[in-house]
Structure 1
Amino acid sequence: MKKRIYFLLGLSAAMVILLVSCFQNNGTLTKLGGTEAVSYNFDIRPILSDKCFACHGPDANKQEAGLRLDNAESAYAKLKSGKAFAIMPGDPEASELYRRVTSSDPDYQMPTPESHLGLLTEKEIGLLKRWIEQGGQYEQHWAFIKPKQSALPEVSDDNWPINEIDYFVLAKMEEKGLEPNEQASQQQLIKRLSLDLTGLAPSLALQQKFEKAEDDKAYEKLVDELIGQKAYGEKMALHWLDIGRFADSYGYQNDNARTQWPWRDWVIHAFNKNIPYDRFVIWQLAGDMLPNASKEQILATAFLRNHKYNEEAGIIREEYRVEYHLDKTKTFSSGLLGLTVECAQCHDHKYDPISQEDYYRLFAFFNNSKEAGQESLKGNGLATSPILNIKHDEVKNLLTFINSKDTSTISLSVMGEMDSLRNTYILNRGVYDAPGKLVTANGLKAVMAFDTTKYPRNRLGLAKWTVSKDNPLTARVFVNQVWQEIFGLGIVKSTGDFGMQGNMPSHPALLDWLAVDFMNHGWNIKRLVKQIVMSATYRQSSKLTKEKKEKDPENIYLSAGVRYRVPAEIIRDIVLSSSGLLVPKIGGPSVKPYQPKGIWEATTANRGSLKTYVQDKGDQLYRRGLYTFIKLTLPPPAMIVFDASSRDHCEVTRQKTNTPLQALIMMNDPTVLEASRVLAERMEGRQLSTEDKIAELFRKIVCRSPTEREVKLLMEYYNSELLKLTKAKGKADKVLNVGEYPHPKGITKDQAAALMRVISTIYNMEETITKS
């Protein structure tokens, strides 16, 4: 009875504290009744999730002592022993949780030594103690709360912000004792914008045009000009191809070619046409189910059919049919909702409030597809049922965004719904032939209720549920992905995990403000991108002081412009665009540029259409990186070394590494060497001094003027190489003998070869392939 009174008193105290507090969910400790208020979401839940939820979380199969610490009802209830409470609000010493995490007795302490989770730090214990003292108040997980726009925060320097983004960023800087950098130079900004908005190095003409502009609106005009280019759609599409796991082969052992590339053409078209994101999502999830669906809407559903497909004889078709829909479920949840739902395939999620039943209710939306585990007909088809056939006259008159001069019919794999409802069962331990309880399709209840009066229990209903303005995740997740693509790091660092184990947002109020603003302005993607790059936050110099490195080593609080290596495909694009080799054709079938000999042959099953690598010729050698043919069992090696996605699953964040292999590729890749050779041969025909040639080349490639010292060093290198080449008869011919692009006539080969070496050196500068 006495403990019950304490318990009620604790709850009352918690309610009083909640009412009088000035606490705000901004990820920081604020004053509360003379003490620092501790947030469950931002301070306590990360500790419990890391150290406790494995044994005391949502997964009923792994719960110890019947205790859940992820919700208040269980945490406040009397333990099974009947003698204690895990959390006694207001009284840490009477709380079993606090007593166990502070104990040194290995038979009593938590986490247990056998769990290998490690003991809590003094700081974590202190936070837990203060939280319990303040009432142990639980909060719903931040990502499952509908975002709301808060008022712009007050800042000490009203002159710095250019738009709303800057108020939130500057307020956080001031809180952390940081100050913003000065604005980057015009040369830095033109390169930064060109790479972010088009993925290409800015032409010399564009650089000079922006530098000479004196109009106050010059920067905004440049942004509009770049967003208006067709290359914008290509750059934006690159990230979506990772999410949609686009590739040119089926995967698995046979790994034959398939024709999903018209979907890539559509994605580029969609970004250039600025199709609103809600419609962009609906078409890809359920375009085939829209009333009087057009071929374009059906084509968009190839998004769900880009998964690997097993063509091998003797497979169990039902096993792979289930596997394909598991892949769809993961792609949907990770790419669109930012949740690790696949963790619940075999058991209740250990950290997020998603049960195995919730998982298979979501899976049920995709389980009614006409798609089979394997085609009944034998052969190496370029698409698998359901198939969309696109005729030549439709490409000419209707689907004009598809780049195909071939008059034959194009076939690609798309979605199609069964006429009758297929039963969906919870699969015991996730095994295809171990059905359990029968379930019906439903959205994730932890995210948002699935109102069947508004949403039918099919993919179209799921699509509409996903882009509802009441869905707390969809807008947040996409805004965060766009932010990541521009700043290199999302506001939520764990871009694919907004759940309990994910990172907390660095600027939660900013993320919510942008998400609501995005939805309120018609899910306008181009407007969102422009909004970000127009900010003072984006325009800062990337210079980092020692103090800033110490206070914020990852530049999470954006007190400086970002600096990071561009994606693998963009490295290729920089080389091709700066050298003048780039063929700017939009869309079309994938191409096979230079690749080391024998790689496919050494790893193939020695059968099928892709058993040998047949390199393309002519213009096909100089297409953008996103058009490079991707064989799932062996993706393009140069790109993989630079951390490109392997495309065998949905990927929302690419890793960033720095290895010696990357340097070796830049020094020896035929495309880089050919670009250096072609640029050198073209410059040889110009009536300029060598110093002026080097200065201009530097501008073309690095996108800034070289210093006197840089010109001097490169001149010294040029002279030393020219001397070697002049002495070694025939050496220049060997140096220039790279690539298939035609050689001009009448050049001085020794000078061209020496200049080629200089250009290759410039391409190998870190700054060339770095956005800063």
Structure 2
Amino acid sequence: MLKHLTQILLIPIVIFTSCSEKESEADVLTSGNQISYNFHIRPILSDNCFACHGPDENKRESGLRLDTEESAYAALKENPEAHAIVPGKPGKSEVVLRIEATDAAELMPPPESNLKLSGSEIETIKKWIKQGAKYQPHWAFVTPSKTSLPKTSNAEWPNNEIDHFILAKLDHLGLKPNESADKMLLLKRLSLDITGLLPTLEVAKSYEADNTEDATEKIIDELLDSPSFGERMAVLWMDIARYSDSYGYQDDNIRTQWPYRDWVIHAFNKNLPYDTFITWQIAGDLLPNPNKEQILATAFNRNHKYTEEGGVIPEEYRVEYILDKTNTFSKAIIGMTVECAQCHDHKFDPISQANYFQMYAFFNNTPEQGYEGDVSVSKPAKHPIMWVEKEDLNGILDFVNHQDSSKIMVSVMDDYKDTLRQTFVLDRGIYDQPTTEVFPSTPEAILKFDENKYAKNRLGLAEWTFSDENPLTARVFVNLMWQEFFGAGIVRSAGDFGMQGKLPSHPELLDWLAVDFRESGWDVKNLIKKIVSSATYQQSATVDKKKVEMDPDNFYLASYPRIRLNAENIRDMIIASSGLMSKEIGGPSVKPYQPEGLWEAATSGRGELAEYRQDEGADLYRRGLYTFIKLTSPPPKPIIFDGSNRDVCEVTRNRTNTPLQALAMLNDPLVLEASRVLANNLIKEGKENEAAIKEAFFRILCRAPKEEEMALLIEYHQEELKRFKQKPETVLETVKAGEFPLDQFSDTPETAALMQVVVAIYNVEEAITKT
């Protein structure tokens, strides 16, 4: 029986990067035989040439730039009779002569670089030059615009505008979209995506029985209105905001930034417009007469690591903190890897080191310190701080979940009022090597910072960020949301829209959604509803051989992608389906089960967090969002399932497949405890064996078991029941997993046997997969 049972046990999904991805990108925006600089040529040059012939002046060879047409067309410095590119004449272009050279001394890229252009890449460059070698601004730096909806082969399939763009691409590839997903599987998908939780039995039965045309729209609206929506969205934002409950570095003591997390949940549930949501986080303290909610939002900037180690150089760490703020803003909000320009001009994007420190200057006027004193006087927040008082909890901060009367310290932003700290370009990015003075500004290649329009502070930066002409902000967030619902963004490098970033699979769709998002008043829930209402999202996840062969990475979404749940959702699925979950929203982080000694092995032995003190009662069953994050020893189970360790801003999580994941699902105390509690409750309700198995299956997988699945589970249950009846002494040892109290129904062979069946169901691959 065990051999048969392994057929339905955990096989985590792996999302591999196919070798065909580069080829897929090359086909993205071409129409007919026209070669595009942006979508065909620049990626080749960026990968192979820009390191020596790109924006970085200090590393440029022979004075040649290939990223600008002015330089590429100009006479070569070392040979004035020759030109790198002669439009219309590939045979006269030195670029072609060098990439086709047979002499190693002449060949480009040079052999020692270990780079080599393929035959198709060489032919593409030659064809582009023959067509006129027309350069274009980088696509992501051009303000998005709405194009008309493309014509498609099936006028009946689209639910909304999204589907026209998806279907047009599928038509071009000769693929057809899938049929609609099974109704209950769609409900599971929607519920997990919008609330991070499985639907309750009551919701599932109600939706299953609703045959009206707007049944799905109604359930989408209900899920978006659920308080759990804010918790689900906060998981993403905590990764972006690098939220943690400790300071990092050696002593890694406790801090109290959790009221900021409560605010994020509140902001998403309230559907705070995205421009407001970000403006408050960047510069809420600089608004006219800011209130405590707006100031609390600026904790976003203060979630980075802080040192409490004696002997450090305060200025070195103060600079580190400002660098982190700069990098987080650029990666999360405008999707650019500007940190590459901290030490030198960016090698691939038109961002100079001066540009970098001009952006740095926006955050450099805060009075925070690099070191505040000995660890013995460690405080749960670093200056500047804001106090959350008891009266705030009955007023402007009524969303903060604080159960006692003590005040809470939160690290927030502030600026010097009567002085301006000077900012210098730092030679090689080193804190004590100032060179040229710079002032707050932004890279002109993205959008010029108009000093007559914007104040030269963080509030001005926020206004620049949401300018109608800013080409990045709306695209980046729309892409993040797409990634959340489809497992990968339209631009798969969600934190890098620069020259080295991935090309968009559906650029016109990305731009249409970006403009629509801005025109909606930056309405987050409206954007999400549009995505999940599309036929693209609502199609089934089944695949056939033709689709796998033509689009192995499902780049063009001819089916819904099967996606393993993230770490927090796996925990939430287990505690919610078993009935264990605490519904409390917000408040301080909690410490659930963790292997003994793990925490202590990574501690200095000083401070409040020297020992791991596990929580008790309902706190053991809080959602994964609230698990305590200690930076030097992040919680093991989330890390096993690719959770963020929160050291730095992270906009995309990996999805890996390791034996540890299967072992965790089979042996984790929470899985065993949840299985026992669910089995116990079903027996307590008087459910017969078959009915109990069916309900457990439905609670976890949101569908009825197939006949063969049911036969396997019944057989397994009978074997386990027989085993426990023959060896009653093993029952207690099996069911006592976890700390949830046992009752008179717990210590029986029937509960132990059903518990083992539930463990098996939790370990079905489908249980931790969104299909």
Give the TM-score, by structure 1 length: 0.95
3-state DSSP of counterpart to 2:377:
coil
Q: Which amino acid aligns with 1:581?
A: L
1:674 aligns with 2:636: no
Classify 1:367/1:747 alpha carbon distance in 2 versus 1 (closer, same or farther; 3 Å). Answer: closer
Consecutive aligned runs of 4 or more in structure 1 exceeding 2 Å deviation = 25-31, 686-689
Q: What is the CA-CA distance between 1:28 and the residue it aligns to?
A: 3.1
| Alpha carbons 2:86, 2:93 under 8 Å: kept | yes
Q: What is the CA-CA distance between 1:376 and the residue it aligns to?
A: 4.4
| Alpha carbons 1:385, 1:413 under 8 Å: kept | yes
What are the superposed Cα offsets for residues 325-359 of structure 1, whole Å, 9 maximum, x if unpaired? 00001000000010000000000000000000000
What are the superposed Cα offsets for residues 291-337 of structure 1, whole Å, 9 maximum, x if unpaired? 00000000000000000000001100000000000000100000001
The whole-number CA distance in structure 2 between the counterparts of 1:46 and 1:567 is: 31
Q: List aligned pairs for 1:320-719, cutoff 5 A.
A: 320-376=317-373, 379-419=377-417, 420-719=419-718
Aligned residue number for residue 293 of structure 1: 290
The whole-number CA distance in structure 2 between the counterparts of 1:28 and 1:275 is: 35
Q: List aligned pairs for 1:242-321, cutoff 5 A.
A: 242-321=239-318
Aligned residue number for residue 148 of structure 1: 145
Aligned residue number for residue 765 of structure 1: 764
Q: What is the CA-CA distance between 1:692 and the residue it aligns to?
A: 1.3
3-state DSSP of counterpart to 2:189:
helix
Q: What is the CA-CA distance between 1:554 and the residue it aligns to?
A: 1.1
The whole-number CA distance in structure 1 between the counterparts of 2:746 and 2:122 is: 74
| Alpha carbons 1:26, 1:507 under 8 Å: kept | no
Q: Which amino acid aligns with 1:357?
A: A
| Alpha carbons 2:480, 2:489 under 8 Å: kept | yes
The whole-number CA distance in structure 2 between the counterparts of 1:340 and 1:350 is: 11
What are the superposed Cα offsets for residues 108-128 of structure 1, whole Å, 9 maximum, x if unpaired? 0000011122x1111101100
Aligned residue number for residue 735 of structure 1: 734
What are the superposed Cα offsets for residues 644-697 of structure 1, whole Å, 9 maximum, x if unpaired? 000000000001100000000011111111100100111112333211111111
Q: Which amino acid aligns with 2:646?
A: R
The whole-number CA distance in structure 2 between the counterparts of 1:289 and 1:251 is: 28
The whole-number CA distance in structure 1 between the counterparts of 2:748 and 2:538 is: 43
The whole-number CA distance in structure 2 between the counterparts of 1:745 and 1:159 is: 58
The whole-number CA distance in structure 2 between the counterparts of 1:746 and 1:350 is: 67
Give the TM-score, by structure 2 length: 0.96
| Alpha carbons 1:684, 1:748 under 8 Å: kept | no
Provide structure 2 residue ranges, at least 5 long, that are not aligned to the other structure: 1-25
Aligned residue number for residue 28 of structure 1: 29
Structure with the greater relative contact order (CA < 8 A, sep ≥ 6): 1 or 2? 2
Aligned residue number for residue 103 of structure 2: 105
Q: Which amino acid aligns with 2:276?
A: R
| Alpha carbons 1:26, 1:508 under 8 Å: kept | no
| Alpha carbons 2:728, 2:749 under 8 Å: kept | no
Aligned residue number for residue 6 of structure 2: none
Q: What is the CA-CA distance between 1:375 and the residue it aligns to?
A: 1.3
The whole-number CA distance in structure 1 between the counterparts of 2:720 and 2:72 is: 74
3-state DSSP of counterpart to 2:362:
coil
3-state DSSP of counterpart to 2:320:
helix
| Alpha carbons 1:343, 1:349 under 8 Å: kept | yes
3-state DSSP of counterpart to 1:272:
helix
- CA RMSD in angstroms, aligned pairs only: 1.0
| Alpha carbons 2:731, 2:747 under 8 Å: kept | no
Q: What is the CA-CA distance between 1:27 and the residue it aligns to?
A: 3.3
Q: What is the CA-CA distance between 1:748 and the residue it aligns to?
A: 6.1
The whole-number CA distance in structure 1 between the counterparts of 2:581 and 2:140 is: 43
Classify 1:26/1:658 alpha carbon distance in 2 versus 1 (closer, same or farther; 3 Å). Answer: closer
Q: Which amino acid aligns with 1:421?
A: L
1:126 aligns with 2:127: no
Provide structure 1 residue ranges, at least 5 long, that are not aligned to the other structure: 1-24
The whole-number CA distance in structure 1 between the counterparts of 2:355 and 2:630 is: 34
Q: Which amino acid aligns with 2:691?
A: D
Q: What is the CA-CA distance between 1:562 and the residue it aligns to?
A: 1.7
What are the superposed Cα offsets for residues 592-643 of structure 1, whole Å, 9 maximum, x if unpaired? 0000000111111111111110000001000000000000011000100100
Q: Which amino acid aligns with 1:499?
A: G
3-state DSSP of counterpart to 2:425:
strand
3-state DSSP of counterpart to 2:156:
coil
The whole-number CA distance in structure 1 between the counterparts of 2:224 and 2:579 is: 21
Aligned residue number for residue 222 of structure 1: 219
The whole-number CA distance in structure 1 between the counterparts of 2:177 and 2:229 is: 29
3-state DSSP of counterpart to 1:411:
strand
Q: Which amino acid aligns with 1:514?
A: L
| Alpha carbons 2:304, 2:647 under 8 Å: kept | yes
3-state DSSP of counterpart to 1:472:
coil
| Alpha carbons 1:643, 1:654 under 8 Å: kept | yes
Q: Which amino acid aligns with 1:486?
A: F
| Alpha carbons 1:492, 1:506 under 8 Å: kept | yes
| Alpha carbons 2:735, 2:747 under 8 Å: kept | no
| Alpha carbons 1:685, 1:747 under 8 Å: kept | no
What are the superposed Cα offsets for residues 80-133 of structure 1, whole Å, 9 maximum, x if unpaired? 12121000100111000011111121100000011122x111110110010000
Aligned residue number for residue 20 of structure 1: none
Q: What is the CA-CA distance between 1:403 and the residue it aligns to?
A: 0.4
What are the superposed Cα offsets for residues 508-544 of structure 1, whole Å, 9 maximum, x if unpaired? 0000000000000100000000000001000000000
Q: Which amino acid aligns with 1:98?
A: V
1:207 aligns with 2:204: yes
